[in-house]
Amino acid sequence: MYQNNIYIDNYEELKAITKPNGDKADMGVQFDIFDQRHGLEHNDLLRAQYKHWRAVETGVDKLLSKADKNLLGL
């Protein structure tokens, strides 16, 4: 669906990121921690692509915000 998206390519690592207390982190926190670990700059387009991919894969349509949809032209 989206070629060369670092978040999709590293889905397993991204989804395994937790809060310091071990609780599941929300997606925004997961993105921020992943970016920090890998020295990446914040990228709204890549994040929106990942959320869209996840929505398609899981059937959960509430992952995309209006801003995400606008970035993707949806």
| 30: CB partners within 8 A, 6+ apart | 14, 15, 17
Report residue 36's pLDDT band, with 50, 70 and 90 as the boundaries: very high
| 15: CB partners within 8 A, 6+ apart | 30
Task: Report the alpha-carbon distance of residue 13 to residue 11 in Å, rounded.
Answer: 6
Overall pTM > 0.85: yes
State residue 1's pLDDT score.
80
State residue 48's pLDDT score.
97
Average pLDDT over residues 7-35: 94
State residue 58's pLDDT score.
87
